[in-house]
Structure 1
Amino acid sequence: MKAYLSSRRKYIREAISGYSFMMPFIISVSAFIIGPLIYAFIISFKDFSFLNPAASRWVGFDNYIRLFSDATFKRALLNTSIYSLFVVPIQLFIALMLALVVDSDIKGKTFFRVAYYIPTVTSTVAVSVIFLYLFKADGLVNIILSKFGIQGPAWFNNVNFALPSIMMMAIWSSVGNYMIIFLAGLQDIPVELYEAAEVDGANKFQRFFKITLPMLRHVAFFNLVMSLIGTFQIFDQAYVVSGGSGGPLDATMTVVLDIYKTGFKDFNMGYASAMAFVLFFIILLLTLIQRLLFKEETY
């Protein structure tokens, strides 16, 4: 009995010590993440403004129903979907190719790894400003095009070219991040597999499709999910390029930018919260679909 009580007291002391170490994290997460999420979910069912919280009123699902007839939100969702549809596969393909290059035996591969990764750690605002100058009507890109007899458009001020310009900027600035993850996956593949395949007469393409791609399946799934989440949350580039308006003619309006404008410019925080949760469920649904397609295993 004494041994049991002593063991029990030791277990309780260890539990108290463990939770004591965890308490700062639990408190901060509860105060800055879980609490605000619950509060945002509640006010998504209200006509709510932080300018006059006392005047808020319960509207039920009206905010969510209103989204189906909101032309700006539908345009923002369409822009974001198009942006994601093009950016995700292109940046992952380029990232994989770059990872293969820097994983090979080329000279100066350390330099190339750093060079490809630097845009990732550069501020998105700084990158956006740089691209604004490059893609001006009289910017460097149009000057180069004029050398070939091509009249370049005013990229970010043109309805047809504004969103593609942001796509190019996003691919250039984020591809290095996914390259590093692919590179880690490539270096985790046992060399013996390639040696055995080479002995069996497999060429480079066969080794790539039969060994490299299958072994990178979990890494590719991770990159795909992270890339999809990142593209659906695009805000900085669209805000800087359009000056926060989403123009021209809502050509660069994204869902997160629409949420920002609704909540912090129109001060309709209830409706903005409803937009945010719709975006959350869209991303969750797409992630689950990808999981099924990749048949991702549970570890």
Structure 2
Amino acid sequence: MGGKRYSNLAGYTFLMPAMIAILVFILVPIAYAFFLMFFKVDMLSGTRTFVGLNNFSILFSDPKFWAAFENTFKYVIVVVPIQTIIAMVLAVLLNSKIEFNRAFLTIMFIPTLTSSSAMTLIFMWLFNNNGLVVNLIDSLFGVRMQFLTNPDLALSVIMVMNIFSTVPHFMIVFLSGLQDIPGSLYEAASIDGATKVKQFLHVTVPQLMPITFYVVTMGLVGCFQIFDQAFIISNGTGGPQNSTLTFTLYIYQLAFTSNDMGRATALAFILGLIIFTVTAIVNRLLKADKMNG
């Protein structure tokens, strides 16, 4: 009995630093943010005024909230499926008997190793009004496009950049999952006359369902929390015409530009609720707990 008690004490002792860090840096801030969203908070004067649910009613009547809502969901709906499909297909190609040049593989991983801030600056250089992409389109089609200053195209630049930078990481995740699929499944499918495409659809995809759930979930969370790219491209304004305004950028504006921490925490709570709900729906649709779909 004494030895078991000593072992438990030793275990809790080792866990204590991590538990304290989680309590101080995660649980306490979450609880405090939940408390603040019912107040009108002036960060400069440090005053708080209880307003109940008024912060939520103000948000729901704010056009910028709905612009951020539309932009964020548009971003998620476009980016998550495309980056997941491309990553899976590339992983399957790498896992096949096709030989790839080492230089090509190295280049593929560069976006993952590059910081998002540096990547954003590179894409701003590529897509600015005199950038490489704009000049290339002009020389090929005779059309002078303005991406960063066009409200209809500015968000698409961030979408392309995110897909380009996240696909290599998710490709490695899929590749690790492919290593665990028994070769006997492909042999049985081949004997039954299944083509390579049918083997991919009926063997590879179902077997990768838990990995797919992870990739989709991480993609959803990352896309819903998109901030730095939108901030750098728009210089913190979410422009042009709120076309790059996202939830997290709007939270930043409310907290540090409008000096309204109450509405900022209320919006953060709404964003957390949206992420939780969408993740639960994805879990139900993908049936991640079933290896064979």
Give TM-score, length-normalised by structure 1: 0.93
Aligned CA distance change for structure 1 residues 298 and 183 (closer, same or farther; 3 Å): closer
Residue 35 (structure 2) aligns with: 42
Residue 126 of structure 1: how far off its partner (Å): 0.3
1:233 matches 2:225:
yes
> 1:192 aligned to 2:191?
no
Q: CA deviation at 1:111?
A: 4.3
| 3-state SS, counterpart of residue 56 of structure 1 | strand
The 5 A counterparts of 1:10-25 are 10-25=3-18
> Residue in 2 aligned with 1:3?
none
Separation of aligned partners in 2, 1:150 and 1:237 = 29
Q: Supply the AA of the counterpart residue of 2:235.
A: G
Cα deviation digits, residues 206-237 of structure 1 (max 9, x gap): 21111111101111111111111111110011
Distance 1:107 1:297 in 2: 34
**Does the CA contact (< 8 Å) of 1:102 and 1:109 recur in 2?**
no
- Mapped pair 1:278 → 2:270: yes
Contact kept? 2:209, 2:290, Cα under 8 Å? no
Per mean C-alpha deviation after superposition, the further-off stretch among 234-243 and 109-118 is 109-118
Q: Deviations over 1:14-53 (max 9, x none)?
A: 1111111111101111111111111111001111132222
Which amino acid is the alignment partner of residue 47 of structure 1? K
Contact 2:80 2:216 in 1 (8 A): yes
CA-atom RMSD, angstroms? 1.5
Deviates more, 1:95-104 or 1:128-137: 95-104
Conserved? CA contact 1:102–1:110, under 8 Å: no
Quick check: 1:145 aligned with 2:137? yes
Tell me whether 1:288 sits opposite 2:280 in the alignment: yes
* In structure 2, distance between residues paired with 1:284 and 1:143: 43
Deviations 1:232-268 (A, max 9, x none): 1100110010001100111100010000011012111
The answer as to whether partners of 2:84 and 2:215 remain within 8 angstroms in 1 is yes
Decide whether aligned partners of structure 1 residues 43 and 298 sit closer, same or farther in structure 2, where only a CA change above 3 A counts: farther
Does the aligned pair in 2 maintain the 1:263–1:269 contact within 8 Å? Answer: yes
Do residues 260 (structure 1) and 252 (structure 2) align? yes
Contact 1:102 1:112 in 2 (8 A): no
Match of 1:204 in 2: 196
Structure 1's unaligned 5+ residue stretches are: 1-6
**Aligned partner of residue 262 in structure 1, secondary structure:** helix
| Structure 1 residues 142-181: aligned runs within 5 Å | 142-181=134-173
Tell me by how many angstroms 1:58 deviates.
Answer: 1.2
1:77 and 1:254 in contact (8 A); partners too: yes
Write the distance in 2 (CA, Å) between the matches of 1:16 and 1:50.
Answer: 42
5+ residue gaps, structure 2, are none
> Residue 80 of structure 2 contacts residue 223 of structure 2 at CA under 8 Å; is this kept in 1?
yes
Aligned partner of 2:86 among 90, 94, 97 = 94
TM-score by length of 2: 0.95
Matched residue pairs, number? 291
- Residue 265 of structure 1 aligns with an amino acid whose one-letter code is T
Structure 1 residue 109, shift from structure 2 partner = 5.6
The 1:33–1:109 alpha-carbon spacing in structure 2 relative to 1, beyond 3 Å, is farther
1:4 aligned partner: none
Identical aligned residues as a percent: 41
Measured in 1, the distance between the counterparts of 2:204 and 2:105 equals 20
Task: Name the residue aligned to 1:32.
Answer: 25
